[in-house]
């Protein structure tokens, strides 16, 4: 075991050629980041999760009720043993061939079967109240941690002399004492991402589940890696830049759930501007320029330097992906506006929500026999003109 630990903590991997672990030992004059400090993140992540449950139950839920957000879920699909067996054991999204077979077996029209499967899928989706509570918790945390990060960076002068503090991270690399504020900020961020990593499996399922899982994993690695390797100043700047837009997105979601559409639109525009500015604009490029090129000239590349920068580039790649989604939503909003259906965000049905919807008329029609429904030669229903073989769900 001692040999494995010695191999893992090899100085030539983690540190520049002229730095040793002895240089980063705690002394009476200064305290430096230590790997064992991060063990505190696990119990704290559990505490954050418990605080979240209490917050959603006693703070977010009363706020939602005060805003007339009801806990009513989607319409319940009528009981049917055959369709339930297909749904649970075979597929939740039957293809055209299976739909036709079920139609003959049950003597239902295809559209009613499609509606049953849609309603059954929506039964597993959380209510608007649940979504509001989750967004309010995230908004509160992001707002707090971003405010704390700005306060910390302002205290150390990073907001006034952005370039100097970045260079200080590398030029005085082995001599950066760990302050109490920095330690608290790092442990809090790491604990929160650990809680997100585990709660993601119980939270609202979204289309980009895999991307978000990768994001949380990379963030945990990046936070842990930068702390152990004493790159905490750069890490603090990266964390603060990324937290700046998250609170606005959650606020836009809350406004949408409360049906404050104008406020939702305004918050989303603000979110888009802040997101693109802080994740694709001059600030992240400045950070990458410092960590990739200027640090090369000051301390030179070493193995952990490559890992750190690769993680930063991976995070930047994810930022580009999400910027694409934002532009996609904006383009949909513009196209709807031209068509007379301006609805800029609809966060509850955005590209991450995976919620299906349908018209009230469609959901109110009870499933049953369709002896009078005929299929015309163009493949549409002779009574309502809808494509029998088309999808009845509408994922925005």
Assign residue 87 the CATH number of its domain.
1.10.10.60
Let me know whether 192 and 254 are in one domain: yes
Let me know whether 208 and 303 are in one domain: yes
Let me know whether 93 and 51 are in one domain: no
**Residue numbers of the domain that contains 49:** 30-66+127-337
Let me know whether 105 and 214 are in one domain: no
pLDDT at position 353: 42
Question: How far is 393 from 306, CA to CA, in rounded Å?
Answer: 46
* 313 assigned to some structural domain: yes
Cα torsion 77, 79, 83, 89: sign = positive
Closest CA to 248 of 214, 281, 213, 277: 277
* 288 assigned to some structural domain: yes
* 384 assigned to some structural domain: no
- State pLDDT tens for residues 102-145: 988 898 998 999 999 888 888 877 888 988 999 999 999 999 99
Asked if 240 and 149 count as a contact pair (C-beta separation under 8 A), the reply is yes
Let me know whether 90 and 110 are in one domain: yes
Let me know whether 61 and 195 are in one domain: yes
Question: How far is 95 from 193, CA to CA, in rounded Å?
Answer: 38
Q: End of a domain among 297, 315, 337? A: 337
Let me know whether 118 and 136 are in one domain: no
Asked if 321 and 214 count as a contact pair (C-beta separation under 8 A), the reply is no
Q: End of a domain among 292, 312, 337? A: 337
Let me know whether 100 and 55 are in one domain: no
pLDDT at position 157: 56
* 2 assigned to some structural domain: no
* 153 assigned to some structural domain: yes
Cα torsion 292, 302, 192, 212: sign = positive
Let me know whether 169 and 103 are in one domain: no
pLDDT at position 166: 46
- Residue 387's DSSP bridge partners are 380
Let me know whether 264 and 306 are in one domain: yes
Q: Measured in Å, how far apart are the chain's first and last C-alpha atoms?
A: 53
Let me know whether 111 and 238 are in one domain: no
* 390 assigned to some structural domain: no
Q: End of a domain among 321, 337, 353? A: 337
* 53 assigned to some structural domain: yes
Closest CA to 55 of 120, 166, 143: 143
* 147 assigned to some structural domain: yes
Closest CA to 234 of 303, 294, 322, 280: 294
Let me know whether 105 and 251 are in one domain: no
Per-residue pLDDT in tens (0 to 9) along the chain, 396 residues? 778 878 888 888 888 877 788 877 888 878 888 888 999 999 999 999 999 999 999 999 999 999 999 776 667 888 888 898 888 888 888 988 899 999 888 989 989 999 998 888 888 778 889 889 999 999 999 999 999 988 887 776 544 444 444 444 444 444 466 888 889 999 999 999 999 988 888 776 777 788 888 888 988 998 998 888 877 777 888 888 889 899 999 999 999 999 998 899 899 889 988 998 888 877 777 778 878 887 787 777 888 888 888 988 988 888 888 888 888 887 877 776 544 444 444 443 444 443 343 333 344 444 444 433 333 333 333 333 323 333 333 333
Question: How far is 93 from 91, CA to CA, in rounded Å?
Answer: 5
Task: Give the total residue count for the chain.
Answer: 396
Ramachandran quadrant class, 334 (left: phi over 0; alpha: psi -120 to 50; beta: rest): alpha
Question: How far is 214 from 73, CA to CA, in rounded Å?
Answer: 30
Number of domains in the chain: 2
């Amino acid at each position: 075991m001692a040999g494995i630990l010695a191999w893992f903590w090899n100085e030539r991997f983690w540190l520049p050629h002229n730095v040793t672990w002895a240089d980063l030992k705690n002394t009476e004059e200064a305290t430096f980041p230590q790997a064992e400090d991060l063990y505190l993140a696990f119990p704290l992540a559990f505490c954050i999760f418990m605080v979240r449950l209490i917050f959603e139950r006693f703070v977010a839920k009363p706020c939602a009720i005060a805003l007339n957000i009801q806990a009513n879920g989607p319409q319940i699909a009528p009981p049917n043993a055959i369709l339930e067996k297909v749904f649970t054991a075979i597929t939740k999204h039957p293809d055209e061939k299976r739909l036709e077979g079920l139609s003959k077996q049950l003597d239902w029209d295809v559209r009613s079967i499609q509606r049953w499967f849609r309603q059954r899928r929506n039964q597993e989706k959380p209510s608007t109240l649940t979504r509001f509570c989750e967004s309010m918790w995230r908004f509160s945390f992001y707002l707090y941690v971003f405010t704390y990060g700005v306060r910390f960076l302002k205290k150390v002068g990073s907001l006034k002399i952005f370039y100097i503090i970045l260079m200080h991270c590398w030029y005085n690399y082995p001599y950066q004492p760990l302050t109490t504020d920095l330690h608290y900020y790092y442990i809090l961020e790491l604990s929160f991402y650990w809680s997100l990593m585990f709660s993601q499996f119980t939270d609202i399922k979204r289309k980009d589940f895999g991307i978000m899982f990768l994001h949380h994993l990379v963030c945990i690695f990046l936070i842990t890696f930068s702390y152990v390797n004493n790159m905490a100043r750069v890490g603090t700047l990266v964390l603060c830049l990324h937290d700046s837009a998250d609170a606005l997105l959650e606020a836009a979601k809350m406004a949408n759930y409360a049906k404050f559409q104008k406020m939702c639109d305004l918050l989303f525009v603000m979110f888009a501007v802040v997101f693109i500015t802080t994740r694709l604009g001059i600030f992240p490029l400045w950070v990458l320029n410092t960590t990739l090129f200027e640090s090369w000239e000051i301390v030179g590349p070493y193995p952990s330097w490559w890992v750190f920068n690769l993680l930063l580039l991976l995070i930047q790649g994810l930022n580009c992906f999400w910027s694409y989604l934002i532009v996609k939503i904006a383009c949909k909003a513009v196209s709807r506006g031209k068509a007379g259906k301006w609805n800029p965000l609809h966060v509850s049905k955005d590209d991450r929500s995976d919620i299906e919807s349908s018209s009230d008329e469609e959901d109110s029609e009870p499933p049953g026999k369709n002896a009078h429904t005929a299929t015309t030669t163009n493949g549409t229903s002779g009574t309502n003109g809808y494509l029998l073989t088309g999808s009845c769900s509408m994922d925005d």
